[in-house]
């Protein structure tokens, strides 16, 4: 028992000595740590859920117009109606999931209305690494660059979209990549993309005419010929 008392007393003395030697630093650090922890708790338990809810409510008002391809409404709203636009929601709530959804909505709307620079800006505000939406986001960016005449950049993004998805829907992105690499005279890269299609799909039907019925072999042979691999 006396040993336990001695140990406890020793600990108290050690703590007192540590505090005495580091009083100035501790008087600054401890309050700051308490403030940071308190702010983090407030952010995660109150502020973020509140912002997520607000963004979701505003975004819900646009879903109908987006589904009906009313992209000008999505981007500019309706005169006389107090409603936030997709770019406004994305800019104000970009740190929330709903804010990123709004950014994707804005990006697609800008892409569909031919405003490619703005579309790229909002594609960059989305979660491009997401396994489900990521391939579509990368393909959207690729489409922007293609429309802007930056074919090699577009091709690389289409290939990245195919690599991220690796399914029968995203396999078409390899085909677009191959076509654009050919236009950029990057024939070996085109061969690589076409061969990825062949490796992934095999003889299974995809619903894409150029890929099905062994036509992809023609694209592989053509690209290999242009690359000088058949000489």
pLDDT, tens digit only, all 231 positions of the chain? 445 555 656 666 555 665 566 666 646 655 656 656 655 554 466 455 777 888 889 999 999 999 999 999 999 988 878 889 999 999 998 878 888 999 999 999 999 999 999 999 999 998 766 678 899 999 999 999 999 999 999 999 999 999 999 888 899 999 999 999 999 999 999 999 999 998 988 777 777 777 775 688 889 999 999 988 876
192/149 Cα distance (integer angstroms): 22
Range of the domain at 191: 128-231
**Based on the domain organization, do 16 and 113 belong to the same domain?**
yes
Quick count: other Cβ atoms within 10 Å of Cβ 150?
17
**Based on the domain organization, do 97 and 24 belong to the same domain?**
yes
Boundary-marking domain end, from 86, 108, 126: 126
53/90 Cα distance (integer angstroms): 14
Query: Does residue 106 contact residue 74 with C-beta atoms inside 8 Å?
Result: yes
Q: Hey, is 184 helix, strand or coil?
A: coil
**Based on the domain organization, do 145 and 96 belong to the same domain?**
no
Query: Does residue 226 contact residue 187 with C-beta atoms inside 8 Å?
Result: yes
Q: Look at residues 193, 168, 173 and name the one whose alpha carbon lies nearest to residue 182.
A: 193
Q: Is residue 2 part of a domain?
A: no
Q: Look at residues 111, 113, 117, 92 and name the one whose alpha carbon lies nearest to residue 102.
A: 92
């Amino acid at each position: 028992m006396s040993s336990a008392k001695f140990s406890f007393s020793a600990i108290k003395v050690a703590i007192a000595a540590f505090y005495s030697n580091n009083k100035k630093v501790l008087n600054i650090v401890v309050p700051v740590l308490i403030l940071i922890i308190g702010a983090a708790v407030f952010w995660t338990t109150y502020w973020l859920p509140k912002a997520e809810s607000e963004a979701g409510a505003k975004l819900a008002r646009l879903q109908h117009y987006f589904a009906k391809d009313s992209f000008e409404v999505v981007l500019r709203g309706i005169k006389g109606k107090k409603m936030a636009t997709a770019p406004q929601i994305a800019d104000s709530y970009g740190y929330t999931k709903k804010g990123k959804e709004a950014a994707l909505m804005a990006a697609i709307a800008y892409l569909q209305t031919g405003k490619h620079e703005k579309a790229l800006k909002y594609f960059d505000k989305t979660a491009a690494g997401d396994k489900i939406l990521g391939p579509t986001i990368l393909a959207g960016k690729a489409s922007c660059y293609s429309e802007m005449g930056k074919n090699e950049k577009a091709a690389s993004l289409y290939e990245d979209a195919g690599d991220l998805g690796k399914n029968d829907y995203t396999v078409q992105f390899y085909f677009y990549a191959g076509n654009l690499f050919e236009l950029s005279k990057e024939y070996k890269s085109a061969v690589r993309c076409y061969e990825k299609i062949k490796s992934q799909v095999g003889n299974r039907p995809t619903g894409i005419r150029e890929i099905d019925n062994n036509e992809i072999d023609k694209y592989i042979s053509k690209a290999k010929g242009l690359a000088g691999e058949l000489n």
